[in-house]
Amino acid sequence: MEGSGSFMRQLSRKEGCKSTSWRWVGDDSGNSFEANLTQMEEELNMNGNGVDQNDMVLRKRVMVVVDQSSHSKHVIMWALTYVANEGDVLTLLHVIPPTQNSSKSSFSSTFLGSLCKAYKPEVEVEAVVIQGPKVETVLNQVKKLEISVLVLSQKRPSPFLNCVRGSSTEEFVEQCINNAECLTIAVRKQRKGVGGYLVTTRWQKNFWLLA
């Protein structure tokens, strides 16, 4: 069985709404693990990744769904480290309710975009703020922008809220993973003292990456 570091290196190599945008130019078995990796590679290829007929590497379009929480910074850094390569396009999508003022969200997205360019200037970064229903907006943008890889923040579930009314965050992640027309990865940073990340895809749930 290959280690988690090898898995991420392979993945990285393969690779009614109102909107505002900015752009910065600049423990499974080994067999199960291999099968999941093959499925991910095939989906990447179906979405325009990999190598063209002239053996030229095609750039990916990576989208990260962000908000104003600290989780956004963690998932952005993860995507820049393990998914986005030189020449790829990284889109930061912030979806807000139609009744919410977008000015604060615009400032937050601009800050996160600048942070991305400072961390990995060889990746092209754009930030988009859209007012509308979250799941529908994300799925529409994935299709419209021809996204190759969608990265989501998977927050730690609250046992109390799950018992009372379920987790809206978990439902959002699950709907995106099952319905987005691209490879979709949900990432959650482990608590202090444990380290690494928990990664969920269509084929693997809470796979622990010690990174």
Q: How confident is the model at residue 94 (pLDDT cuts 50, 70, 90)?
A: very high
Overall average pLDDT of the 38-53 stretch: 52
Host domain of residue 186? 4-209
CATH number at residue 141: 3.40.50.620
Highest mean predicted confidence (pLDDT) among 20-24, 42-46, 68-72:
68-72
Q: What b/e readout covers 47-76, taking b as 16+ CB neighbours within 10 angstroms?
A: bbbbeeeeeeeebbbbbbbbbeeebbeebb
How many domains is the chain built from?
A: 1
What pTM did the predictor assign? 0.73
What are 27's two structure tokens? 């423990």
34-39 contacts: CB < 8 A, separation 24 or more?
Answer: 34/2, 35/203, 36/201, 36/203, 36/204, 37/7, 37/10, 37/11, 39/202, 39/203
Task: Output the pLDDT for position 58.
Answer: 74
Contact 21, 127 (CB under 8 A): yes
136-152 residues labelled b (16+ CB within 10 A) or e (exposed): ebbbebbeebebbbbbb
Share of the chain above pLDDT 70, in %: 62
Tell me, what's the pLDDT at 2?
Answer: 41
- Mean of pLDDT over the chain: 75
**Rg over CA atoms, the chain:** 17
The angle, 0 to 180 degrees and rounded to 10, between the axes of the packed helices 134-144 and 168-179 is: 30
